[in-house]
Amino acid sequence: MFFELITCFLLLIGAIFSFIAALGIVRMPDLFTRMQAAAKTGTLGVGCTILAVATFFGDIGVATRAGLVILFLFLTSPIAAHMIARAGYISGVALWSGSVTDEMRDQYDPVTHHLSSEPRKKSDNDSQMLGM
Amino acid sequence: MTLTVSFQIVPFTAMLTLNIFAIAMIFAMVRLLRGPSLADRVVALDLVAALAVGVIAVYAILTEQPMLLRAGIVVALVIFVGTVAFAMYLEKRAKP
């Protein structure tokens, strides 16, 4: 009875988080905000649902496989989201008009596709001249 | 009385959860069809696959078949490779 109640609780939590992820992917204004909603919230929702499977069966083999799925999801989902965001930025997807900061604008050259770890020379000189 | 309730509560919650997952998947499909750029569609496809893993997990509870969890592992593996391949293709297409 107790484990069944925990199973129901985890199922509902997972479903609500997955629903919030889908709502975010429809309602958000931008590729990057959409990707963030889908990656974080969706991973948490599916992870809770698979944890519900582990508590429902109460078997060590099933729990191991469930832990494997959760570990795999938590490892791969940020990597996939990061790669899509990078590809979207490089292929020129526009940011939302209300975006506050764009830290890659100084370090990425959209013409030569060169990504440097420091700000580009032109803006560097500008800031030095401003400093003088 | 409490025994019958304890036998009913998990399938009921599982069916409710499946309905919520279905609505979420419809929302993700809307973004998959409407997305302005190709990257939006890839993000939506990733979310659809994650929701599919969740649906498989709920179905494993509903039918009491723990073997279905292996199908979830396979779906998660395949969609990760697909998303990474799409991202590399997008990046390579943007660079000359």
A122 plus A80 within the same structural domain: no
Task: Evaluate if residue A93 carries a pLDDT over 90.
Answer: no
Query: Which structural domain range is residue B71 located in?
Result: 2-94
Contact of A65 with chain B, judged by CB distance below 8 Å, is answered with yes
Q: Which of A4, A8, A14 sits opposite B54 (nearest CB)?
A: A14
From chain A, the residues in CB contact with B6 under 8 A are 1, 4
Give the tokens for residue A78.
């940020």
* One-letter amino acid for residue B67 of the chain: M
A13 plus A53 within the same structural domain: yes
Task: Evaluate if residue B28 carries a pLDDT over 70.
Answer: yes
A106 plus A78 within the same structural domain: no
A64 plus A80 within the same structural domain: yes
Contact of B45 with chain A, judged by CB distance below 8 Å, is answered with no
Give me the percent of chain A exceeding a pLDDT of 90: 45
Nearest chain A CA: its distance from B91 CA (Å): 5
Count of the separate structural domains present in chain B = 1
Q: Which of A8, A68, A84 sits opposite B73 (nearest CB)?
A: A68
Task: Evaluate if residue A96 carries a pLDDT over 70.
Answer: yes
Count of the separate structural domains present in chain A = 2
A76 plus A121 within the same structural domain: no
A83 plus A111 within the same structural domain: no
Segment among A18-27, A70-79, A98-107, B78-87 with least mean pLDDT: A98-107
Measure the CA–CA gap between B42 and B33, rounded to whole angstroms: 11
A74 plus A121 within the same structural domain: no
* One-letter amino acid for residue B14 of the chain: A
A79 plus A108 within the same structural domain: no
A127 plus A90 within the same structural domain: no
Residue of B nearest to A76 (CA): B80
From chain A, the residues in CB contact with B95 under 8 A are 90, 113
Give me the percent of chain B exceeding a pLDDT of 90: 68
The 3 state secondary structure assigned to A88-106 is HHHCCCCCCCCCCCCCCCC
A86 class by beta-carbon count within 10 Å (0-12 exposed, 13-18 middle, 19+ buried): middle
- Residue A23's nearest CA partner among B73, B27, B16, B65 is B27
A72 plus A108 within the same structural domain: no
- Please, which pLDDT band fits residue A9 given cuts at 50, 70 and 90? very high
- Please, which pLDDT band fits residue A129 given cuts at 50, 70 and 90? very low
DSSP A18: H
Task: Evaluate if residue A132 carries a pLDDT over 60.
Answer: no
Measure the CA–CA gap between B26 and B11, rounded to whole angstroms: 23
CB contact under 8 A, A53 and B61: yes
A67 plus A8 within the same structural domain: yes
- Please, which pLDDT band fits residue B96 given cuts at 50, 70 and 90? low
- CA distances for A107 relative to A88, A104, A114, A118, A119, angstroms: 16, 5, 8, 6, 5
ipTM of the complex: 0.86
pLDDT of the residue at A106 = 76
pLDDT of the residue at A105 = 76
Query: Which structural domain range is residue A84 located in?
Result: 2-99
